[in-house]
Chain A
Amino acid sequence: MEMLPGIYRWIHIMAGVMWVGLLYYFNFVQVAALKAAQADSTAAGITKHVAPRALFFFRWSALVTWLAGAALLSSNFVAAFTFQAGFQKIGIGAWLGTIMLLNVWGLIWPNQKKILGLVQATDEQKNKARRIAFLASRTNTALSIPMLFFMVAQTHIPM
Protein backbone atom coordinates (compact mmCIF):
# COMPACT_ATOMS: atom_id res chain seq x y z
CA MET A 1 0.00 0.00 0.00
CA GLU A 2 2.83 2.43 0.76
CA MET A 3 4.02 1.95 -2.83
CA LEU A 4 0.74 3.26 -4.26
CA PRO A 5 1.54 7.02 -4.31
CA GLY A 6 4.79 6.25 -6.15
CA ILE A 7 2.95 4.02 -8.62
CA TYR A 8 0.30 6.72 -9.20
CA ARG A 9 3.03 9.30 -9.80
CA TRP A 10 4.80 6.96 -12.23
CA ILE A 11 1.58 6.38 -14.22
CA HIS A 12 0.74 10.12 -14.04
CA ILE A 13 4.13 11.05 -15.52
CA MET A 14 4.14 8.30 -18.21
CA ALA A 15 0.63 9.11 -19.41
CA GLY A 16 1.37 12.85 -19.12
CA VAL A 17 4.45 12.50 -21.32
CA MET A 18 2.34 10.71 -23.94
CA TRP A 19 -0.50 13.28 -23.72
CA VAL A 20 1.61 16.42 -23.86
CA GLY A 21 4.06 14.78 -26.28
CA LEU A 22 1.26 14.10 -28.75
CA LEU A 23 -0.19 17.58 -28.11
CA TYR A 24 3.19 19.09 -29.05
CA TYR A 25 3.41 16.73 -32.05
CA PHE A 26 0.05 18.04 -33.32
CA ASN A 27 0.96 21.69 -32.77
CA PHE A 28 4.67 21.78 -33.54
CA VAL A 29 4.71 19.20 -36.36
CA GLN A 30 1.39 18.05 -37.80
CA VAL A 31 -0.31 21.42 -38.41
CA ALA A 32 2.58 22.62 -40.59
CA ALA A 33 3.08 19.17 -42.16
CA LEU A 34 -0.59 18.96 -43.13
CA LYS A 35 -0.45 22.38 -44.78
CA ALA A 36 2.57 21.27 -46.86
CA ALA A 37 1.00 17.88 -47.60
CA GLN A 38 -2.22 19.51 -48.82
CA ALA A 39 -0.16 21.56 -51.27
CA ASP A 40 1.22 18.40 -52.94
CA SER A 41 -1.91 16.26 -52.42
CA THR A 42 -0.35 13.83 -49.93
CA ALA A 43 -2.43 14.88 -46.90
CA ALA A 44 -4.38 11.60 -46.88
CA GLY A 45 -1.32 9.82 -45.56
CA ILE A 46 -1.54 11.94 -42.42
CA THR A 47 -5.32 12.28 -42.05
CA LYS A 48 -6.03 8.60 -42.80
CA HIS A 49 -3.12 6.78 -41.18
CA VAL A 50 -1.38 9.04 -38.64
CA ALA A 51 -3.98 11.38 -37.12
CA PRO A 52 -6.54 8.73 -36.02
CA ARG A 53 -3.83 6.69 -34.25
CA ALA A 54 -2.28 9.76 -32.65
CA LEU A 55 -5.72 10.96 -31.50
CA PHE A 56 -6.51 7.58 -29.95
CA PHE A 57 -3.45 7.63 -27.69
CA PHE A 58 -3.85 11.40 -27.17
CA ARG A 59 -7.36 11.32 -25.73
CA TRP A 60 -6.93 8.17 -23.63
CA SER A 61 -3.56 9.22 -22.21
CA ALA A 62 -5.21 12.54 -21.26
CA LEU A 63 -7.82 10.67 -19.22
CA VAL A 64 -5.28 8.32 -17.61
CA THR A 65 -3.07 11.32 -16.70
CA TRP A 66 -5.97 13.06 -14.97
CA LEU A 67 -7.16 9.92 -13.14
CA ALA A 68 -3.64 9.07 -11.93
CA GLY A 69 -3.22 12.71 -10.82
CA ALA A 70 -6.50 12.55 -8.90
CA ALA A 71 -5.40 9.28 -7.27
CA LEU A 72 -2.07 10.89 -6.40
CA LEU A 73 -3.83 13.83 -4.74
CA SER A 74 -6.05 11.31 -2.95
CA SER A 75 -7.40 12.87 0.25
CA ASN A 76 -5.84 16.22 -0.75
CA PHE A 77 -7.96 16.38 -3.91
CA VAL A 78 -10.44 18.93 -2.52
CA ALA A 79 -7.65 20.90 -0.79
CA ALA A 80 -5.85 21.29 -4.13
CA PHE A 81 -8.92 22.30 -6.13
CA THR A 82 -9.98 24.82 -3.45
CA PHE A 83 -6.43 26.24 -3.06
CA GLN A 84 -6.05 25.36 0.64
CA ALA A 85 -2.81 26.35 2.39
CA GLY A 86 0.11 24.34 1.04
CA PHE A 87 -1.85 23.25 -2.04
CA GLN A 88 -2.13 26.50 -4.02
CA LYS A 89 0.56 25.68 -6.56
CA ILE A 90 -0.57 22.12 -7.28
CA GLY A 91 -4.15 23.48 -7.27
CA ILE A 92 -3.35 25.81 -10.18
CA GLY A 93 -1.67 22.92 -12.01
CA ALA A 94 -4.62 20.62 -11.32
CA TRP A 95 -7.15 23.18 -12.57
CA LEU A 96 -5.14 23.83 -15.74
CA GLY A 97 -4.85 20.07 -16.34
CA THR A 98 -8.59 19.67 -15.80
CA ILE A 99 -9.42 22.45 -18.29
CA MET A 100 -7.07 20.78 -20.77
CA LEU A 101 -8.79 17.39 -20.28
CA LEU A 102 -12.21 18.99 -20.84
CA ASN A 103 -10.86 20.63 -24.01
CA VAL A 104 -9.68 17.23 -25.28
CA TRP A 105 -12.92 15.36 -24.67
CA GLY A 106 -15.40 18.22 -25.07
CA LEU A 107 -13.93 20.16 -28.01
CA ILE A 108 -10.99 18.51 -29.76
CA TRP A 109 -12.24 14.92 -30.07
CA PRO A 110 -15.89 15.64 -31.06
CA ASN A 111 -14.68 18.07 -33.75
CA GLN A 112 -11.88 15.77 -34.94
CA LYS A 113 -14.48 13.04 -35.48
CA LYS A 114 -16.21 15.36 -37.97
CA ILE A 115 -12.92 16.35 -39.65
CA LEU A 116 -11.76 12.74 -40.04
CA GLY A 117 -15.16 11.62 -41.33
CA LEU A 118 -15.91 9.34 -38.36
CA VAL A 119 -19.27 11.12 -38.03
CA GLN A 120 -21.39 12.69 -40.78
CA ALA A 121 -20.73 16.39 -41.40
CA THR A 122 -21.21 18.84 -44.24
CA ASP A 123 -18.21 20.74 -45.67
CA GLU A 124 -19.33 23.83 -43.77
CA GLN A 125 -19.57 21.87 -40.50
CA LYS A 126 -16.14 20.37 -41.18
CA ASN A 127 -14.60 23.80 -41.72
CA LYS A 128 -16.12 25.06 -38.47
CA ALA A 129 -14.97 21.89 -36.66
CA ARG A 130 -11.43 22.40 -38.04
CA ARG A 131 -11.26 25.91 -36.55
CA ILE A 132 -12.68 24.88 -33.15
CA ALA A 133 -10.39 21.83 -32.85
CA PHE A 134 -7.38 23.93 -33.91
CA LEU A 135 -8.05 26.70 -31.37
CA ALA A 136 -8.77 24.21 -28.56
CA SER A 137 -5.53 22.41 -29.35
CA ARG A 138 -3.57 25.68 -29.43
CA THR A 139 -5.23 26.72 -26.14
CA ASN A 140 -4.06 23.45 -24.57
CA THR A 141 -0.52 24.04 -25.88
CA ALA A 142 -0.51 27.49 -24.24
CA LEU A 143 -2.04 26.12 -20.99
CA SER A 144 0.47 23.26 -20.85
CA ILE A 145 3.27 25.79 -20.21
CA PRO A 146 1.93 27.15 -16.87
CA MET A 147 0.44 23.72 -16.04
CA LEU A 148 3.88 22.06 -16.16
CA PHE A 149 5.43 25.03 -14.32
CA PHE A 150 3.00 24.66 -11.40
CA MET A 151 3.31 20.86 -11.30
CA VAL A 152 7.06 21.34 -10.88
CA ALA A 153 6.61 24.36 -8.57
CA GLN A 154 4.65 22.42 -5.93
CA THR A 155 7.86 20.87 -4.62
CA HIS A 156 10.72 22.50 -6.52
CA ILE A 157 10.04 26.24 -6.93
CA PRO A 158 9.68 28.30 -3.74
CA MET A 159 7.24 31.24 -3.83
Chain B
Amino acid sequence: MKNPLDSLWGTVIAGLILTVILYYITKVIIGG
Protein backbone atom coordinates (compact mmCIF):
# COMPACT_ATOMS: atom_id res chain seq x y z
CA MET B 1 0.00 0.00 0.00
CA LYS B 2 1.26 3.46 -0.86
CA ASN B 3 2.03 5.85 1.98
CA PRO B 4 -0.55 8.68 1.72
CA LEU B 5 2.11 11.11 3.01
CA ASP B 6 4.09 10.62 -0.22
CA SER B 7 1.39 12.61 -1.99
CA LEU B 8 0.56 16.20 -1.06
CA TRP B 9 -3.17 15.66 -1.43
CA GLY B 10 -2.93 12.35 0.42
CA THR B 11 -1.41 14.35 3.28
CA VAL B 12 -4.20 16.93 3.23
CA ILE B 13 -6.88 14.21 3.13
CA ALA B 14 -5.14 12.37 6.01
CA GLY B 15 -5.24 15.63 8.00
CA LEU B 16 -8.93 16.13 7.27
CA ILE B 17 -9.77 12.53 8.25
CA LEU B 18 -7.79 12.93 11.48
CA THR B 19 -9.73 16.14 12.20
CA VAL B 20 -13.06 14.32 11.86
CA ILE B 21 -11.87 11.41 14.07
CA LEU B 22 -10.56 13.75 16.78
CA TYR B 23 -13.74 15.84 16.57
CA TYR B 24 -15.90 12.84 17.48
CA ILE B 25 -13.47 11.62 20.17
CA THR B 26 -13.45 15.09 21.74
CA LYS B 27 -17.23 15.27 21.53
CA VAL B 28 -17.46 11.99 23.48
CA ILE B 29 -14.92 13.22 26.07
CA ILE B 30 -16.87 16.47 26.53
CA GLY B 31 -20.12 14.53 26.69
CA GLY B 32 -21.87 16.64 24.07
Interface residues of A (CB under 8 A from B): 27-28, 31-32, 83, 88-89, 92, 135, 138-139, 141-146, 149-150, 153, 158-159
Contact = CB atoms under 8 A, between A and B. Distances in A.
Interface in B1-32: 3, 5-6, 8, 11-12, 14-16, 18-19, 22-23, 26-27, 29-30, 32
- Interface of chain A, main secondary structure: helix
Contacts of A31: 8
A142 B26 contact: no
B15 A145 contact: yes
A82 to B, nearest CB: 12
Nearest to A149: B19
A138 to B, nearest CB: 4
